[in-house]
Structure 1
Amino acid sequence: MRLSGKIVLITGAGSGIGASTAKLFAKEGASVIVNDISEADGIQIVKEINEAGGKATFIGADVTDRDQVKAMVEQVIAQCKQIDVLFNNAGISVVGTLHETEDDVIDRAMQVNIKGVCTVSKHVLPYMMEQKQGSIINMSSCLAEIGFLRRAIYAATKGAVLALTKSMQVDYAPYNIRVNALLPGTIYTPFVENYLKSAYEDPEAALEKIKQRQLNGQLGTPEDVANAALFLASDESKFMLGSPVYIDGGVVSGKAL
């Protein structure tokens, strides 16, 4: 029960990494606030957690909407009195070279992946500052540090999140608030599965090719990232401040792409 008694808010927790993390955190004793833009997805995850004996509540909000975020955070405080952990997980992927990416796609990626992290953090931070403790986990990507084919906009947003994390840590360390970032590699989520099916004539062959990017020849799972998030959320990582945590199968340190 590594998160016993902690109140945790996870954005984008209706599927993929967010859903796996919500389930793991609840199993470890946290009271989990499941946020997602999809009410159906979020409620389903809450149902699964509660049926398994955990504690979870769904609050719908678009992380890019200031008023919705403010209302969500105020609701959490009204119900739970505090927020111990914020996992800024909500994000979207963008595939394509810069010149072929439509302006509205660029704008949406910036809004969700950067502004979303800023907006939720901005409204949670005053409560963490008042309680003199907290852990914020920001979802970056290993692409924040390496070049990669047809991922320019996505990489730019995740690079911004990593830079934001480091400067946030300097500002909020005096309040005993830790701010760290997760940098996953290719994780086999429903998005990746659907992308392979829609973008390639032979999805299985494409999957095998993608696996070779990692040193171990495998893709990561949502549970791999959830376990890393659990470490950052727990008191076991109390000496980690402003740190990037790689869950990438060795892509960044091991070989060029």
Structure 2
Amino acid sequence: MRIILLYLIALVIAPNTAGSIEVTRGKLLQGSLLLLQVDTSSTVTVNGETIPVSANGKAIVGFHRDETEPLHIIETLKDGSKKELTLKPKLRVYREQRINGLPENMVTPPDKVLKRIVEDRKQVTKARSYSTSINAFEKIFSWPIKGIITGTYGTKRILNGKPRAPHYGIDIAAPKGTPVRAPQAGIIRMAKNLYFTGWTIILDHGHGLSSTFLHLSGTKAKVGQRVQKNQIIGNVGSTGRSTGPHLDWRINLLKKRLDPHLIAGKMSRK
């Protein structure tokens, strides 16, 4: 009887570490977002940097397009005990994509617009730098539009015969004016006409995760506005460096570029 009593007491006072650092969603693959489940009272670091944990014990990590080094995750519980997990991404082979017919000033910009381009990049970086307590990041994402995928994440871009930066989004062709819907809830951090990407919206989903929507014909959202999943935020266009109506959808985890296709899954045709 005494042994049973001592066992029951131990269960009550022992820290609940079951499921600590459990990967509940995502793949060990370059470009992937991984959802973690940890203890609600714990502190979590990734390669020495603290990341936020939601009230229900959710946290996220991700792999950039070219990331090869492992993520070393340490969860420190309230009692000081630690749990560790190392995640190493599988490497991907990216295709090459050639796009011709772009205006030359959109491939090699004239000197007079360089200042604007630098300022655009600063504003985009700022809009993607929020790490708020919004919990939309932990929910299932949907596609912002339905259409034909004409450009994929990670492809090596050759523009008018000139090598340029890789493509970090998904290009979806659709008629001009097609409504673009929020793939998940969040707060609008940018709604502005930029040189390269035309009308651009950046939507903050929480914990550093954001969606960017490029080449829109216009925006139906304002900076600071809270939007719900599937709410219309803009329309498909061909503004900026574009050869026809389409949506370029991108997802960032702060400075890391992630693959929207891995996060949203297969596009439904319904």
- Is the TM value for this pair above 0.5? no
For the superposition of Structure 1 and Structure 2, which TM-score range results when normalised by the shorter chain?
under 0.3
**TM-score, structure 2 normalization:** 0.24
More strand by share: 2
**TM-score, structure 1 normalization:** 0.25
Larger Rg: 2
More helix by share: 1
